[in-house]
Chain A
Amino acid sequence: MSELAIEREIDRSKMQVSDEVAIQISGMNKWYGSFHVLRDINLTVNRGERIVIAGPSGSGKSTLIRCLNALEEHQQGQIIVDGTELTSDLKNIDKIRSEVGMCFQHFNLFPHLTILENCTLAPIWVRKVPKKEAEERAMHFLEKVKIPDQAHKYPGMLSGGQQQRVAIARSLCMMPRIMLFDEPTSALDPEMIKEVLDTMIELAEEGMTMLCVTHEMGFARQVANRVIFMADGQIVEQNEPEEFFNNPQSERTQQFLSQILGH
């Protein structure tokens, strides 16, 4: 909602977009019962691209992003993630899930495990990484999100911003090639939003492919190379951030932007 200023210089040297396709969605439709939530979605995301998805509440942003790692099933069309097509085949689904990291609005850390165990669990059980190596890796990423000293605490003892950064570290420990974020900052206080956004910017600077549902327009302006606007289950408009914010084409987008930016 706020246009949070991001003070520091952003290093764009590594933020290169390659020609390789990371995600390809074509003719995708999804229904909840008889309710048509996603309507004819076509989207190609290249490796290294950072995409921000915006839109009014209920427009299907979460549903779209959750279809990408099969947390929701789509009924029509094709989704190819990292060269693997998403079908009902459990093997494919597990493979894609281990390649795609996801961060949720409410963090969804495992409350019965310590921070370190949260981070090592999936590498140990899914990737079969030896425990010691998994712990080293977890510490590496916890340092990266700047909370190595909390490693032995439980999630319930951390602030919201810290929990979200742990959630990011937990995903990174699986060495994903794509990261999905579903409103990662909308459950946080302004002070904590910044620390989470900083972490996400750092990820972007390292060339991670990112799809991010967010209302942080400052983040979108500075980091995204494409903004996608959804309304009523449809992609209404997409453009580079400058164009998108300064020169929105559709009426729906203009209306949304004027509400969200408070002009």
Chain B
Amino acid sequence: MSEQNSVAFVATESIPPSPPPANQTGVVKWLRENLFSNWQSSLLTLVSLYLIYVILSTFLPWVLNGVWTTSSLTECREVLEGRFGACFSVLTERWNQLLFGFNYPSDQYWRPTLAFVFMLIAIAPVLFFDLPRKMLAFTVAYPFVAFWLIWGGTIMAPIVAFLGCAAAAFVFGAYGKNNFALGFIGAIVAAFAVWIIGTMLIPDGANEGAWLEHVPSRDLGGFMLNMMLGVTCVSLSIPLGIALALGRQSNMPLIKGMCVIFIEFVRGVPLITLLFVASVMLSYFFPPDANVDLFVRVVIMMTLFSAAYVAEVIRGGLAALPKGQYEAADSLGLDYPQAMRLIILPQALKISIPGIVNVAVGLFKDTTLVSVISLFDLVGMIRGPILGGSAEWNGVYWELWGFAALLFFVVCYGISQYSQWLERRLATDHH
């Protein structure tokens, strides 16, 4: 309008909203904008396409020609008759060994499988907090159920384990409110008292003729062992990491010093060293007749290891919170545990999610290191009994390692997708 050019202007009518100009959409436009916008990008596109073609043209026939039903590599070669193809038969034939190890009684495979299914149910309410809170009751019972399912033996063992934890929770609930340290130490003492007394009460040979056949730890193996180590160590190391991070912030010099030394020591040592310590030396620290299970020793070491990393990640999250949050919590009269649980940790943990997931994924993959201390996890199975120990399958590297990589990838990718979902879900700052 012409008036708009003069200095004084008053809008005489309001401009109604109109839709944005119609986008020129379509495949050709998209291609031109994203892949062929100029000659450099066109060149890159063509080179990339060629590379993808080269990779797929070798990989696809290899997979599609794959043989699934023979019983040795030699037979595979006969079936393939010189064609280029994979020998997946090793996976089908050794399927149970890859998953459960070579000593787990084959008529009992349903037990770890059931434990795995239960794990999915138990973990669901922890991961997805929209699910009914009542499901957490199952989560609490799960470790003991899984323990009994996988190891079998007398049902007294998981019951004693549960009673010990229950006693600890009770003591902490009774004293922890007034005096955190007293409650904490009391809880540990109570748990050990119940465990020691309980173990003495279980008669020798209770495992014979038990409902579920007893399977000793050394018979566990395969991907099951990786899952067990991964799940146990990750779920133990997060609370321990939180405690270490808070301890590192503590005003009490003794607690602070112990946490700092522990964290710095563990972070400065390779995991593999700790695992060797677990396999040979740790028994010196326990009473001579304790004979602590190798699985437990490995769990202790891996948990301590990743707890130190989790602690550092959470410390970063704590440091990122503005001081005002502490002050607001204090000025409302919340005490330290309340301020931490309700205000500080929810925010600090939210910031720390990517870091914690990083540690969890790393730890899960590092569970394969136990193959070095002669435990037969997935990698140990492939290296030892399957590739090294059997004449039939000596030489099927690609198929076996590819399978192992795929299993780990599926789990780790799932964890990473979950963490992204969680971050989106928890974002309240900007909508």
Give A residues with C-beta under 8 Å from B. 69-71, 90, 94-95, 97-98, 100-102, 104, 106, 108-112, 121-122, 125-126, 154, 156-157, 170-171, 174
Partner pick for B429 among A90, A95, A154, CB 8 A cutoff: A154
Output the least CB separation between A23 and chain B (Å). 15
Q: A110-B343, A111-B429, A156-B429 are in contact. Are A97 and B331 (CB under 8 A)?
A: yes
**B331 & A102 in contact (Cβ 8 Å cutoff):** yes
A109 surroundings in chain B (CB, below 8 A): 328
**B328 & A110 in contact (Cβ 8 Å cutoff):** yes
A97 surroundings in chain B (CB, below 8 A): 330-333
**A125 & B330 in contact (Cβ 8 Å cutoff):** no
**A126 & B428 in contact (Cβ 8 Å cutoff):** no
**A71 & B330 in contact (Cβ 8 Å cutoff):** yes
A97-B333, A104-B327, A171-B331 are known contacts; what are 7 more A-B pairs with Cβ within 8 Å? Answer: A71-B331, A110-B328, A125-B338, A126-B333, A154-B429, A156-B431, A174-B333
A112 surroundings in chain B (CB, below 8 A): 346-347, 350, 426, 428
Partner pick for A174 among B332, B426, B430, CB 8 A cutoff: B332
B335 surroundings in chain A (CB, below 8 A): 90, 94
Q: B332: nearest residue on chain A (CB-CB)? A: A122
Name B283-342 residues within 8 Å CB distance of A.
322, 324-325, 327-328, 330-335, 338, 342
Q: A104: nearest residue on chain B (CB-CB)? A: B324
Partner pick for A94 among B324, B333, B428, CB 8 A cutoff: B333
Q: A104-B328, A106-B324, A121-B342 are in contact. Are A157 and B334 (CB under 8 A)?
A: no
Output the least CB separation between A246 and chain B (Å). 35
**B332 & A170 in contact (Cβ 8 Å cutoff):** yes
Give B residues with C-beta under 8 Å from A. 322, 324-325, 327-328, 330-335, 338, 342-343, 346-347, 350, 426, 428-431
B431 surroundings in chain A (CB, below 8 A): 154, 156-157
How many residue-residue contacts, CB under 8 A, span A and B? 69
**Bound complex: CA of A100 vs CA of B327, how far in Å?**
13
**A156 & B430 in contact (Cβ 8 Å cutoff):** yes
**Bound complex: CA of A70 vs CA of B343, how far in Å?**
19
Output the least CB separation between B422 and chain A (Å). 13
**B334 & A122 in contact (Cβ 8 Å cutoff):** yes
A126 surroundings in chain B (CB, below 8 A): 332-334, 338
**Bound complex: CA of A1 vs CA of B87, how far in Å?**
81
Q: B324: nearest residue on chain A (CB-CB)? A: A108
B331 surroundings in chain A (CB, below 8 A): 69, 71, 97, 100-102, 171
**Bound complex: CA of A101 vs CA of B328, how far in Å?**
10
Output the least CB separation between B373 and chain A (Å). 43
Among A95, A97, A109, A170, max chain B CB count under 10 A is at A97
Among B342, B343, B347, max chain A CB count under 10 A is at B342
In the complex, 21 of the A-B residue pairs with CB atoms within 8 angstroms, ordered by the A residue number, are A70-B330, A71-B330, A71-B331, A97-B330, A97-B332, A102-B331, A104-B324, A104-B327, A110-B343, A110-B347, A112-B347, A121-B332, A121-B342, A126-B334, A154-B429, A156-B428, A156-B429, A156-B431, A170-B332, A171-B332, A174-B332
Partner pick for A108 among B327, B342, B350, B426, CB 8 A cutoff: B327
**Bound complex: CA of A126 vs CA of B330, how far in Å?**
11
Q: B331: nearest residue on chain A (CB-CB)? A: A102
Q: B428: nearest residue on chain A (CB-CB)? A: A154
Among B324, B428, B429, max chain A CB count under 10 A is at B428
**B330 & A98 in contact (Cβ 8 Å cutoff):** no
Q: A117: nearest residue on chain B (CB-CB)? A: B342
Output the least CB separation between B345 and chain A (Å). 10
**B333 & A108 in contact (Cβ 8 Å cutoff):** no
**Bound complex: CA of A174 vs CA of B330, how far in Å?**
13
B334 surroundings in chain A (CB, below 8 A): 121-122, 125-126
**Bound complex: CA of A70 vs CA of B327, how far in Å?**
10
8 closest Cβ pairs, A-B complex: A98-B333, A108-B328, A108-B324, A122-B332, A97-B333, A102-B331, A154-B428, A156-B429
Q: A94: nearest residue on chain B (CB-CB)? A: B333
A122 surroundings in chain B (CB, below 8 A): 332-334
**Bound complex: CA of A104 vs CA of B335, how far in Å?**
19
B324 surroundings in chain A (CB, below 8 A): 104, 106, 108
**Bound complex: CA of A54 vs CA of B431, how far in Å?**
38
Q: B328: nearest residue on chain A (CB-CB)? A: A108
Q: A106: nearest residue on chain B (CB-CB)? A: B324
**Bound complex: CA of A191 vs CA of B429, how far in Å?**
24
A106 surroundings in chain B (CB, below 8 A): 322, 324
**Bound complex: CA of A111 vs CA of B342, how far in Å?**
12
Q: A95: nearest residue on chain B (CB-CB)? A: B333
Among B325, B328, B334, B342, max chain A CB count under 10 A is at B328
Q: B350: nearest residue on chain A (CB-CB)? A: A112
Output the least CB separation between B391 and chain A (Å). 60
**Bound complex: CA of A102 vs CA of B327, how far in Å?**
10
Output the least CB separation between B115 and chain A (Å). 35
